Amino acid sequence: MTQAVHDAPAGAARRINLGAVAPFLALILICALGAAANARFLSFDNLTNVLARSTFIATIAVGQTLVITGGGLDLSVGAMAAFVAGLEILFLNSGLIENATLLIVSAMALSLAVGALCGLFNGLTTTVGKIEPFIVTLGTMGIFRSLLTWLAQGGSITIRDSEVRAAYRQVYFGDLFGVPYPVLVIVGVAIVGAFILTRTAFGRRVRAVGSNEDVARYSGIGVARVRTLTYVLQGLCVAIAVVIYVPRLSSASAATGLGWELMAITAVVVGGTRLKGGVGRVWGTIAGALILEVIGNIMLLSNVVSEYLIGAVQGAIIIIAMLAQRLARNR
């Protein structure tokens, strides 16, 4: 039955559409649940809070979508975020530039450069070194986190200058016509990510490499180059998340970004990207990241679930959301 639909072009188009829409349907359903649990869920403040909070995972997960679509995996993103955040704050504390705005802009640029370099390192070690990405990024995960702990001497690194702190704080807490900057960042990153994956030659190559490496190689695609680039883009996404993360609490510690890698990978998979590679859905990933954050928010706002059982309910909702998607797609 599924096979028959697969062969018909019109049916195939419908199938993709359903697959792409399913995570959003799940999100809407969960939001309806939230509204039922607590009327304040739909308040403007709460929605912007939750959207702003999900920026880190959503942004990182867009990068992860590219990496996974290309047949890779990056477990180092959480630790990388901590490391880049630490370096950025140390730069902000160095006082190399007098002007606060200029200092902050340079710090952001530095973060992006460091993130891209970290990604390049992951990518080259995986492709040139021909080592499983799982192992490489597990290794760099330990390296990045230890480096941050070392930089912080076991404590936390905090922005010292209160003027810089106040100016930079606006990047997380400020807004444009009522829309918080972090939300604009999610939308921007998603648009660019989706464009890269679906409208560019590079995106087509990423999908080709992810669905069948050998076929891609015989078609003359530089598999190593394409894969490495996905890791560089992942590094950039991590750096963008950091640029938004640092102003929130103005500090980084060994606990920064803990578990982000699993949340990002979950968001990618919930969003409909195939873990084996070849099929990627950037907007689905965004929906996945929002689902994760919204579930946490609803759990806290409702009085129904015991504080001890929150994890179980979150896990169950994710599995149910995936099952619902599978059913919708097979229909």
**CA 177 – CA 179 distance, rounded (Å):** 6
Residue closer to another protein, measured from CB, 7 or 307: 307
Q: Which stretch binds another protein (CB under 8 A): 70-78, 106-114, 269-277, 303-311?
A: 303-311
- Identified binder of another protein from the candidate list 19, 25, 49, 329, rule CB under 8 A: 49
Identify residue 46 by its one-letter amino acid code: N
**CA 63 – CA 267 distance, rounded (Å):** 11
Q: Name residue, tokens 């639909």.
A: 5
**CA 108 – CA 92 distance, rounded (Å):** 10
Determine if 38 is a binding residue for another protein (CB under 8 A): yes
Determine if 301 is a binding residue for another protein (CB under 8 A): yes
Residue closer to another protein, measured from CB, 45 or 98: 45
3-class DSSP assignment, residue 156:
strand
Determine if 153 is a binding residue for another protein (CB under 8 A): yes
- Identified binder of another protein from the candidate list 24, 53, 187, 224, rule CB under 8 A: 53
Both structure tokens of 50 = 């939750």
**CA 261 – CA 324 distance, rounded (Å):** 24
Which residue intervals of 95-222 are DSSP H helices? 100-127, 133-151, 162-173, 181-199, 201-211, 213-218
Q: Which stretch binds another protein (CB under 8 A): 43-51, 62-70, 129-137, 181-189?
A: 43-51
**CA 130 – CA 50 distance, rounded (Å):** 40
C-alpha angle 142/147/152, rounded to 5°?
130
- Identified binder of another protein from the candidate list 24, 46, 143, 184, rule CB under 8 A: 46
**CA 250 – CA 304 distance, rounded (Å):** 34
Determine if 124 is a binding residue for another protein (CB under 8 A): no
Q: Which stretch binds another protein (CB under 8 A): 101-109, 129-137, 148-156, 220-228?
A: 148-156
- Identified binder of another protein from the candidate list 7, 98, 214, 307, rule CB under 8 A: 307
Q: Give the shortest CB-183-to-another protein separation in angstroms.
A: 15
Q: For the window 253-292, what string marks contact with another protein as x by the rule CB under 8 A?
A: xxxx-x----------------------------------
Q: Which stretch binds another protein (CB under 8 A): 21-29, 37-45, 58-66, 99-107?
A: 37-45
18 contacts: CB under 8 Å, gap ≥ 6? 328, 329, 331
Q: Give the shortest CB-299-to-another protein separation in angstroms.
A: 9
Residue closer to another protein, measured from CB, 14 or 40: 40
**CA 155 – CA 252 distance, rounded (Å):** 9
Which candidate, 214, 226, 195, 260, places its Cα nearest to that of 69? 226
Q: Which residues bind another protein (CB under 8 A)?
A: 38, 40, 43, 45-46, 49, 53, 149, 152-156, 158, 173, 248-249, 251, 253-256, 258, 296-297, 300-301, 307-308, 310
